[in-house]
Amino acid sequence: MPHPSLLRRLLTRRRVVLACAAVTVLAAAAALLLAAPTTEVPGRALLVAGARLHPRPREEPRAAAAGRSPDDAPSLPPPPPLKAKAGLPSKISLALSMFSAPVPSPAENFDDGSAEEPEHPDMKENPLKESAPFLQEPISSGPPTRRSDVSEDLDESGNAEPPPRPEIPLWSTKADEELRYAKKEIADAPLVVGDPDLYAPLFRNISVFRRSYELMERLLKVFIYHDGAKPIFHSPELKGIYASEGWFMKLMEADQNFVVRDPNRAHLFYLPYSARQLEHTLYVPGSNTLDPLSIFVKNYIDMISAKFPHWNRTKGADHFFVACHDWGPYTTKLHDELRKNTIKALCNADVSEGVFIRGRDVSLPETYLKSARRPVRDIGGKPAAERSILAFFAGQMHGRVRPVLVKHWGGKDADMRIYTRIPRQITRRMNYAKHMKSSKYCICPMGYEVNSPRIVEAIYYECVPVIIADNFVLPFDDALDWSAFSVVVAEKDVPRLKEILLAIPESRYITMRSNVKKVQRHFLWHTKPVKYDIFHMILHSVWFSRVHQVEQ
């Protein structure tokens, strides 16, 4: 047995060694904590024109009574200089139960007599800038914001490059064979003459459209992901300016013809989230950043690709989502495969920003619906001979086009009824809707974004739409010939607007107005979908895009 004094020395030395080790461990832990990134994101406010960060403002209740456009409400004053928004999580969990009680949103639906888009000018730093990447360097101090590589998708002139070649699937399925068969059949479509259901002058190629539509009805199968909880997922909003994405979701999820439970049979995979609900649930009022929305979407796609094999088979090329909210395109910025490969059905179909890809993505009609029970109501207008007003517009001065329109035509010509707000003495006898129903041409200038519900609203009221929005891909442009029922005017030609309209022969106007009435059926929502209605037209555009991505 060791001597007691030696034992004491050994024990003392052991305590010293243990104490030194403990100090070393504590020092290392402290260093890690100091080096760890903070949960604050002080430089991530996105005050950029290209992002178009502008939720739409609450409308004055008096607007409905006055019968004027919702964007006639006073614009919100610009906010004070922003400070960094602390406390936003750098990663957002997919546990959606945390969103069971959505925070109030700055954007609300409106139930008055028009379909104008109410927007937040305070989210738009430079509304006159024509195009810019939707993620720029932050204006405040702090760590640099991750820049998007959207600019890499543009050529030297700033135009979007041709869509990339489709991803070759990691393995082939029967659905791929059916898509290749459909592509060949569409290319060899038999000539259609005198179809009683379709009016040929409305279409680019009625033979191609009818054959493609027939094959869609016969072959198309869609798998809908069931993952994701309300309110962001499976929560259709059926009223207001974002109703297109909500009605499509509602009708798609209730469908018994196209939807399948077996994903191995699917040609398309639907991601059933709502861009409107993303804004409503995750946007922090006053933060001026879409980071929480983009992070959430990225995490969702990462979860889908990790849990299921279907995304990775094509890198998302056979997946699609439908978003009518202005922010829909920008929420894809953090996931390259989602942004570049997925079929995006977007109301905000602006080719100048490098997000919307012509030939792959789908331009979604923006429809303003006042009633979820009666989506089709108050349709129609006066006959051509009884339309006494040459051209009509009323609305707020959103974006770069409308101020120019009012500068040249506001209150200067009796034939050109161009208003920022319809005077009260006029609305007493003729409100906003009655103006549209009594006008030959309804002016549809872009707001902060290229899209506007005015276009479909004009079709509903049988008024020939005059579209002023450079870089806008018109809805269903893969099928419809918009020159048959609308007039497209370049932004630079606004000063010549009356000259352009008067140069249209009366016979041509009567034909266009008649075609507006005929094309109406392709823009109507029904509680139970009807052949060739807007639900089927949207689905057909997605189907048509997918077919043409497939390698023969």
Preceding amide of 423 cis, omega within 30: no
Residues β-bridged to residue 375: none
- CA–CA gap between residue 90 and residue 493 (Å, rounded): 46
- What confidence tens digit (pLDDT) does each residue in 321-357 have? 999 999 999 999 999 999 999 999 999 999 999 999 9
Please give the pLDDT value at position 90: 41
Q: Which two tokens stand for residue 431?
A: 């409100």
CATH 3.40.50.2000 residue window(s) in the chain: 384-523
Read off the pLDDT of each residue in 394-422 and give the average, rounded to a whole number. 95
CA 262/CA 41 separation, integer angstroms: 42
How many whole angstroms from its chain centre is CA 162?
Answer: 21
Closest CA to 292 of 280, 302, 304: 280
Q: How far does CA 77 lie from the centroid of its chain? A: 26
Q: Is the pLDDT confidence value at 293 over 50?
A: yes
Give tens-digit pLDDT for 48-92. 333 444 444 433 333 333 344 444 333 333 333 333 333 334 444
Could you tell me what percent of the chain has a pLDDT over 70?
70
Separation in Å, CA 504 to CA 346, 390, 501: 32, 12, 6
* Choice among 43-47, 112-116, 245-249 with the minimum mean pLDDT: 43-47
Contact 207, 191 (CB under 8 A): yes
Amino acid code (one letter) for 414: A
pLDDT for 167: 67
Q: What is the pLDDT of residue 27?
A: 54
Is 223 in contact with 258 (CB distance < 8 Å)? Answer: no
Which pLDDT value is given to residue 155? 44
Mean pLDDT, rounded, for 524-544? 97
On average, the pLDDT of the chain sits at 79
Cα separation values, 435 from 221, 385, 418, 468, Å: 44, 15, 11, 19
Which tens digits make up the pLDDT trace of 121-167?
A: 334 433 223 322 323 333 232 322 223 333 334 444 444 455 556 66
> Counting beta carbons within 10 angstroms of the beta carbon of residue 26, is it exposed (0 to 12), middle (13 to 18) or buried (19 or more)?
exposed
Domain spanning 384-523: which superfamily? Glycogen Phosphorylase B; (3.40.50.2000)
Give the C-alpha separation, 112 to 548, whole Å: 41
Task: State residue 265's pLDDT score.
Answer: 96
Q: 237-263 pLDDT, tens per residue?
A: 999 999 999 999 999 999 999 999 999
